[in-house]
Amino acid sequence: MSAWLSVLLREQGADIFRTKGILHLQGDNRRYVFQGVHMLFDSSADRRWGRDEPRTNQLVFIGRNLDRNRLVREFKACLV
């Protein structure tokens, strides 16, 4: 996931105004939170997932000239 996001931001960072998300990483009981502006990116572990909270991935990209289908396809390729 990190490698894909790094390449994406390097190649399309000028067209990505804002990115943010919450991820469930295999083997980690905490939520993984990330956010970015253009090519700047920061991430960190967050609170533990709630006992009955669905462990889902949520990504938001705000920008121009973005190919939604490509983003979804490439992100899904990162999933275990």
Q: Using 50, 70 and 90 to split pLDDT, how confident is the model at 5?
A: confident
pLDDT tens-place string over residues 42-78: 999 999 999 999 999 999 999 999 999 999 999 999 8
Is residue 80 scored above 70 in pLDDT?
no
The pLDDT of residue 24 is 93
pLDDT tens-place string over residues 12-45: 999 999 999 999 998 899 999 999 998 888 999 9
Rounded CA-CA distance 55/47 in Å is: 12
Domain ranges for the chain, please list them: 2-76
H/E element holding 40? strand 40-48
User: For domain 2-76, is the CATH number 3.90.45.10?
Assistant: no
Rounded CA-CA distance 14/28 in Å is: 32
The pLDDT of residue 9 is 87
